[in-house]
Amino acid sequence: MFENLNWWEIAALLMLALLIFGERLPKVISDGLRMLRGLRAMAQNATSDLSRELGTDIQLQDLHPKAFIRKHLLSEDEEDALRKPLQGLFEDVKSDINGVKDDLTDVGKAADLSSPASTPAAPKARPAIDMDAT
């Protein structure tokens, strides 16, 4: 979440928090940490209850429906049987995309070869005719 913050931005956020909360900042931080610990404990209790009810070892990541089905309901053979028809289709699409990429690269190279230096110069504009001179 905070991987793109540099130390100047972190210092600015700390100063902003100090301005907003003032002397209450340590209490606000401790309350936030206590709430976070409570949420983690509730999630751990829920996963342990679910694991006990289902009779399998469930991790928090396994609660995603796709991961749950893949890990607990399908065997490796069944998963391979489901993937096999799509694998050929994936390879066909991949080869088609690579062909289009190669064609576009060739077109780009051809366009670079026909740079403005190799094209004939545009005709010069005709001088304006002065109607008063006649």
* pLDDT score recorded for residue 88: 83
Co-location of 14 and 56 in the same domain: yes
Say yes or no: 53 and 94 in one domain: no
Q: How many domains, in total, are found in the chain?
A: 2
Question: Residue 43 sits in which domain range?
Answer: 1-62
Q: Do 32 and 6 lie in a common domain? A: yes
Q: How far apart are the first and last CA of the chain?
A: 79
CA angle 38/39/42 to nearest 5° reads 85
Q: For residue 2, what pLDDT is reported?
A: 56
For 55-96, the pLDDT digits (tens) are 777 676 766 777 777 676 667 777 778 778 888 888 889 999
Share of residues in the chain with pLDDT > 90 (%): 17
Any domain includes 43:
yes
**41 pLDDT more than 80:** yes
Same domain membership, residue 54 and residue 85: no
Asked if residue 44 belongs to a domain, the reply is yes
Note whether 93 and 37 are same-domain residues: no
Residue 47: how many other CB atoms lie within 10 Å: 17
